Amino acid sequence: MSAELPDVRQTRLDNYVDRYAARTKGMTASEIRALFAVASRPEVVSLAGGMPNIGGLPLDVVGGAVRDLVIDHGSVAMQYGSGQGDPTLRNQICDVMRLEGIDAHPDDVVVTVGSQQAVDLVTRVFCDPGDVVICEAPSYVGALGVFRAYQCEVVHVAMDDDGVQPEALEQAIAAVRAAGKKIKFFYTIPNFHNPAGVSLSAERRRRVLEICQQADLLILEDNPYGLLGFDGEPQRALRADDREGVIYLGSFSKTFAPGFRVGWAVAPHAVREKLVLAQESATLCPPVFSQLAISSYLSRHDWLGQVKQFQEMYRERRDAMLAALADKMPAATTWTRPGGGFYVWLTLPDGLDAKAMLPRAVTARVAYVPGTAFFSDGFGSQCMRLSYCHPTPERITEGVARLAAVIHEELELRQTFGPLKPGSGRDYDAPGPELS
Ligand SMILES: Cc1ncc(COP(=O)(O)O)c(C=O)c1O
């Protein structure tokens, strides 16, 4: 490079920008990731992250299982394995799913690197650029990221306290098809929804299955929280009543530990074959060491007893959050009341914007995730996700008090200067009840 000509490599932030595939445009850091740095400072009460609280795990039992695995079965555990996953673990996964009414054969199961990879593999197998995926409004940020990366168009469908609204789902399917577009599947989180905190009622489960069967539309049922309910037995999975029309995803991340990165998909036979091929091209095989460690934990430990302990711990935290919200939040603020899982979805009074308010909240030492992270189209600015899974009940109470003070101040500001955007992001797909 001559001394006179400027070296473009030194004047650009990213020298490779002209060379990336078109799909990388859809790959952006999630709003949650951008928050991690500030939210993890000790003085900030983070109601933002959705990390499971694994402090109560029996580390001596896990440590013993891992040690024995290396010493007694190291030559298998540290070797490549099957693309579909370890047969013993797949058998145990069928026992886990029986708790939700699913009768599956180990051959139907594909082990994945967390259920996140299962979302990716299903999308890779089904979706071409421009295909439509129907999602709830709001929806899981990690799945939206996958759909964007594969250049899918996301169409959101309104929810209320009983989960997705069947009429809105029917209308969305008809409208997308009338526009000449292909819908590849309906992605749903029926239990203790991330981020909405609501569950699909038994009556609506029947309706949703009927609608999708009539429309010949696949359902992608993502269920990492189903066993973490606070009252009664787990709900019956959609897959329990339709083995051909539903692809079911499960995970050990919330009932055991996310660090092993083990989840799974259960799919109709032909789809399962494609998922195994996609898995082999992505990773050759899911990690054998993790699978055998989990298999050993399940067979040597009272894992369901551990799940019950998790339920109690999360229930105490949920109670602390709901009590603090009722005590401190200004009128016209509404929120969901989860029966399990990790999340509350809060809607601010009209005229407030959760994203614009975030820097002031962080200055007041509390963090949350603005609702816009959970929509593909900019909606949700009046909403936020609050997680109660990780902080102690005392910290949750303190965090909600700090947040309520920020909202009160914001309301006063808006009363003086007027709203930023009146009613922004509250109603999706109106008419229909909002999340309250
Ligand atoms: C709805 C939902 N699906 C999938 C995942 C991914 O879980 P994992 O890959 O750890 O199994 C999460 C994690 O938070 C989630 O909330």
pLDDT truncated to tens, each residue of the chain (436 aa)? 445 666 655 667 888 888 998 888 877 776 666 666 777 788 999 999 889 999 889 898 899 999 999 999 999 999 999 999 999 999 999 999 999 999 999 999 999 999 999 999 999 999 999 999 999 999 999 999 999 999 999 999 999 999 999 999 999 999 999 999 999 999 999 999 999 999 999 999 999 999 999 999 999 999 999 999 999 899 999 999 999 999 999 999 999 999 999 999 999 999 999 999 999 999 999 999 999 999 999 998 999 999 999 999 999 999 999 999 999 999 999 999 999 999 999 999 999 999 999 999 999 999 999 999 999 988 999 999 999 999 999 999 999 999 999 999 999 988 887 766 554 444 554 333 333 3
Of 51, 111, 140, the residue with max ligand 1 atoms within 8 A of its CB, to mutate for a pocket test, comes to 140
- Cα(341) to centroid of ligand 1, in Å? 12
CB 257 within 8 A of CB 52: yes
The burial of 231, by beta-carbon neighbours within 10 Å (0-12 exposed, 13-18 middle, 19 or more buried), is given as exposed
Residue nearest to ligand 1 atom 16, measured at CA? 194
Of 33, 112, 116, the residue with max ligand 1 atoms within 8 A of its CB, to mutate for a pocket test, comes to 116
| Residues at CB less than 6 angstroms from ligand 1 | 50, 114-116, 140, 142, 189, 194, 222, 224, 251, 253, 258, 263
CA distance 214 to 322: 39
Largest Cα span, the chain: 75
For residue 349, what are its two tokens?
A: 């009074």
CA distance 97 to 87: 15
- Cα(175) to centroid of ligand 1, in Å? 29
Rg (the chain; Cα; Å):
23
Beta-strand runs (E) in 90-204: 109-112, 132-137, 153-160, 163-164, 183-188
pLDDT at 9: 57
Altogether, the residues listed in the chain come to a count of 436
Q: Check residue 241 and report its DSSP letter.
A: G
| Helical pair 288-300 and 87-98, crossing angle rounded to 10 deg | 50
pLDDT at 169: 98
Of 136, 251, 252, 342, the residue with max ligand 1 atoms within 8 A of its CB, to mutate for a pocket test, comes to 251
- Cα(75) to centroid of ligand 1, in Å? 31
Closest CA to 110 of 246, 293, 269: 269
Compute how many other C-beta atoms are within 10 angstroms of the C-beta atom of residue 73. Answer: 15
Cross-strand bridge partners of residue 135: 156, 187
CA distance 289 to 299: 16
CA distance 249 to 273: 16
For residue 43, what are its two tokens?
A: 């003085």
CA distance 215 to 174: 9
For residue 29, what are its two tokens?
A: 């850091």
- Cα(250) to centroid of ligand 1, in Å? 9
Q: 374-392 in b/e burial notation, b at 16+ Cβ within 10 A?
A: bbbeebbbbbbbbbbbbbe
- Cα(326) to centroid of ligand 1, in Å? 29
Give the nearest ligand 1 atom to 258 CA. 10
CB 222 within 8 A of CB 188: yes
pLDDT at 34: 64
* Strand duo 45-46 + 366-367: pairing: parallel
Residue nearest to ligand 1 atom 14, measured at CA? 50
- Please report which helix (H) or strand (E) contains residue 246, including its range: strand 246-251
- Cα(6) to centroid of ligand 1, in Å? 47
- Cα(380) to centroid of ligand 1, in Å? 21
CA distance 159 to 169: 10
- Cα(421) to centroid of ligand 1, in Å? 32
- In the block, tokens 């996301």 appear at 154
CB 130 within 8 A of CB 179: no
